[in-house]
Structure 1
Amino acid sequence: MLIDSARITVRAGNGGNGCVSFRREKFVPHGGPNGGDGGRGGDVIFVVNPNLNTLLSLHSQSLVSAERGRNGLGSNKTGAGGRTTTVDVPPGTIVREAQSGEVLGDLTEAGQQLVVAHGGRGGRGNARFATATNRAPRRADNGQPGQERILECELKLIADLGLVGLPNAGKSTLLSRLSAARPKVADYPFTTLEPYLGVVKAPGEDYRTLVLADIPGLIEGAHEGAGLGAQFLRHIERCRALVHLVDLSTVDPPPAERVTMIRDELFAHSPSLAERRWLLVGTKMDAVLDRDQALIDLADVGSAFDVETHTISAVTGEGVAKLLHLLFDLTGDEREVY
């Protein structure tokens, strides 16, 4: 199950208290102050782990805390600092302060770190307060409390291409055909209830890949939350390009009407999505009764939207080999080679 949101409390460590101490040596009956400072409290840090793809580690715990600093000691010894607590999060995690809604960080790169709660400063020992008129101060500061805040974390999947379309358009079948991903596939709408990622290899190039995201089917009003659409649409935002699948085995409603509805939903959610590069793919050619008419209808839609079109059958494999080349062309030649 994909966990793409979590609410968690983070609490950094308190600073250690300063020490009140005086030198006690033979033949030095009135030694001066030598109380050390308290140690600094530990921070709470989020670290991007590229091996994670869900916020399950945050969802399963309500509080993450760091160690407090140790108190100062005599002989001007500063207390040890509290140990930092690190929390692994997947790439694509957005961290917000729950009360204000302020975005604290957008974590996208492997190894990227974000300090979400700063440890408290250690208190000053009495050696800090010695003056010409007060050479034996009996004062020391307490450590400052560590930062505590409630965070809301949201995951937006990072993929090169996003598969979009109405429910039961063949997105999951295509993903399972092109990659090792195995989303649930069945002949009814809303089979896919959460996004899936699959890694696709370039034809004849084992070391050139792209990541394909299967987004659950969208319906009219998705940008307003219909059919959980708002939760799914955010995962498309990081995709570099989109592959729009339309089922050609049915003519009611017409393909043009179905494509227009999805394009309108994308634009309503984020105008930049409608401007992203995309490819229109007609699916289920193995179940089409009038192939010539289906090809004409798809070409008309392509002309209306000025977009390249292609037809496939993920079941029989028809057109899939050429589609692979089109997908890598769609992402551009500047992709990083893994």
Structure 2
Amino acid sequence: MHFVDEATIRVIAGNGGNGCVSFRREKFIPFGGPDGGDGGGGGSVYLVADEGLNTLVDFRHERTHRAQRGENGMSRQMNGKAGADNVIRVPVGTVIYNVATDEQIGDLTRHGERLLVARGGTGGIGNVHFKSSVNRAPRRATSGSEGEDRELRLELKVLADVGLLGFPNAGKSTFIRAVSAATPRVADYPFTTLQPHLGVVRIDTDQSFVIADIPGLIEGAAEGAGLGVQFLKHVARTRLLLHLVDIAPLDGITDPVDQFRTIEQELAQFDPELLQRPRWLVLNKADLLPEEERAKTAKAIVRRLKWKQPWFVASAIGRDGTWPICLEIQRFFDEQRRDALDAAG
């Protein structure tokens, strides 16, 4: 399944039912007064976040979503039934924009969170409301108002604590398989990952965090090259970035430092604030080097990068060095949580 993280849909709320013009007609009461009821309100359209969904692919096939119209009012002062709402499920992390104004109207970040996106029309009123001392037989009622009709753009941003960065085939999918129960596709060619995968890393019974395998980036991604901006936006919500670099590219020509700096440039071009986010370096695929060369090669890369943040050497395919990274991540989050509690008093 190809990943779809953006969709445009049309939402149409129900119109309100019309008010009724009617007069009481019973035996021995030939000139009864007005008894027209009110129209029912139109149904509204809501979006609700559902953690069981992780893609917007369904909206490629069903683009128009309507709520039910309210029923018309009836005689004997019977009001019309209100139209049923249309509740549309979307993944947690969906951001909603009004296409006409490009205004963000909502951001659904919690399971069950609900957003009204098209309000139903109000029902018209029946002629019983127009009765007065000077007009005992009003033949007037009002029509229901129209429901809102909007075109929306939905964007899905992955919600995760940790985001994996790196060139295609840097070993990100292998890493997430090694540390969680997630099973993204792994193969020896670029762009194996076509959609972000979320994995829960469980340290113990009450400590865990969510890690996202984000598709690989290439030079020009901020302008849409490769898989482009549609995936860069997924790092925007993560608390920590793990930047995976192939420590020993098989072609013998590719420079790991050049690849690292290329990704940095794409992050800076997309959103300079991302470079200020905590970012740790993981030199992956160490198993491809002789054991006696691993530390020397890793230190040389770190020295050339002038890297000051935490860094690790790992071999995700053999799960060598991956668990210590997870433990450090959990300690980092625990410290963040303690600092936040201290700051709150």
Identify if the C-alpha distance between structure 1 residues 110 and 334 changes in structure 2 by more than 3 Å, giving closer, same or farther.
farther
Structure 2 residue 215 is the aligned partner of structure 1 residue 220: no
Structure 2 residue 297 is the aligned partner of structure 1 residue 298: no
Matches of 1:173 and 1:218 in 2, distance apart? Answer: 16
Structure 2 residue 165 is the aligned partner of structure 1 residue 164: yes
The offset of 1:235, in angstroms, is: 1.0
The residue number in structure 2 matching 1:133 is: 134
Residue 159 of structure 2 aligns with an amino acid whose one-letter code is I
The residue number in structure 2 matching 1:232 is: 231
User: Which region of structure 1 is more displaced relative to structure 2, 122-131 or 186-195?
Assistant: 186-195
The residue number in structure 2 matching 1:313 is: 315
The residue number in structure 1 matching 2:327 is: 325
Residue 299 of structure 1 aligns with an amino acid whose one-letter code is V
The residue number in structure 2 matching 1:183 is: 184
State whether residues 5 and 59 of structure 1, in contact with CA within 8 Å, keep that contact through their aligned partners in structure 2.
no
SS of equivalent to 1:31:
coil
The offset of 1:26, in angstroms, is: 4.4
The offset of 1:311, in angstroms, is: 0.5
Structure 2 residue 251 is the aligned partner of structure 1 residue 248: no
Cα deviations by residue, 1:306-327 (Å, 9 ceiling, x for unpaired)? 2111110112222122111122
Residue 261 of structure 2 aligns with an amino acid whose one-letter code is T
SS of equivalent to 1:120:
coil
The residue number in structure 1 matching 2:277 is: 276
Identify if the C-alpha distance between structure 1 residues 81 and 91 changes in structure 2 by more than 3 Å, giving closer, same or farther.
same
Cα deviations by residue, 1:247-292 (Å, 9 ceiling, x for unpaired)? 1113644333322221121111111211111111110111024324
SS of equivalent to 1:189:
coil
Residue 83 of structure 1 aligns with an amino acid whose one-letter code is A
The residue number in structure 1 matching 2:261 is: 260
SS of equivalent to 1:28:
coil
Matches of 1:186 and 1:32 in 2, distance apart? Answer: 79
State whether residues 17 and 124 of structure 1, in contact with CA within 8 Å, keep that contact through their aligned partners in structure 2.
yes
Cα deviations by residue, 1:98-133 (Å, 9 ceiling, x for unpaired)? 222121211111111111111111111111222332
The residue number in structure 2 matching 1:61 is: 62
Matches of 1:40 and 1:88 in 2, distance apart? Answer: 23
Unaligned runs of 5+ in 2: 339-345
Matches of 2:119 and 2:337 in 1, distance apart? Answer: 37
The offset of 1:301, in angstroms, is: 4.8
Structure 2 residue 79 is the aligned partner of structure 1 residue 78: yes
SS of equivalent to 2:226:
helix
Cα deviations by residue, 1:117-175 (Å, 9 ceiling, x for unpaired)? 11111111111222332221111111112111221111111011000011111111101
Cα deviations by residue, 1:50-95 (Å, 9 ceiling, x for unpaired)? 1111113323312111111111122222211011111111111111
The residue number in structure 1 matching 2:341 is: none
SS of equivalent to 1:266:
helix
Unaligned runs of 5+ in 1: none
The residue number in structure 1 matching 2:343 is: none
Q: How many residues align?
A: 333
State whether residues 42 and 84 of structure 1, in contact with CA within 8 Å, keep that contact through their aligned partners in structure 2.
yes
The offset of 1:12, in angstroms, is: 0.9
The residue number in structure 2 matching 1:43 is: 44
State whether residues 281 and 311 of structure 1, in contact with CA within 8 Å, keep that contact through their aligned partners in structure 2.
yes
Residue 302 of structure 2 aligns with an amino acid whose one-letter code is A
Identify if the C-alpha distance between structure 1 residues 335 and 72 changes in structure 2 by more than 3 Å, giving closer, same or farther.
farther
User: Which region of structure 1 is more displaced relative to structure 2, 107-116 or 25-34?
Assistant: 25-34
Residue 58 of structure 2 aligns with an amino acid whose one-letter code is S
Structure 2 residue 125 is the aligned partner of structure 1 residue 121: no
Residue 215 of structure 2 aligns with an amino acid whose one-letter code is P
SS of equivalent to 2:154:
strand
Matches of 1:23 and 1:284 in 2, distance apart? Answer: 86
State whether residues 179 and 323 of structure 2, in contact with CA within 8 Å, keep that contact through their aligned partners in structure 1.
no
Matches of 1:58 and 1:191 in 2, distance apart? Answer: 24
State whether residues 15 and 147 of structure 2, in contact with CA within 8 Å, keep that contact through their aligned partners in structure 1.
yes
The percentage of aligned residue pairs carrying the same residue is 46
Matches of 2:282 and 2:70 in 1, distance apart? Answer: 60
The residue number in structure 2 matching 1:147 is: 148
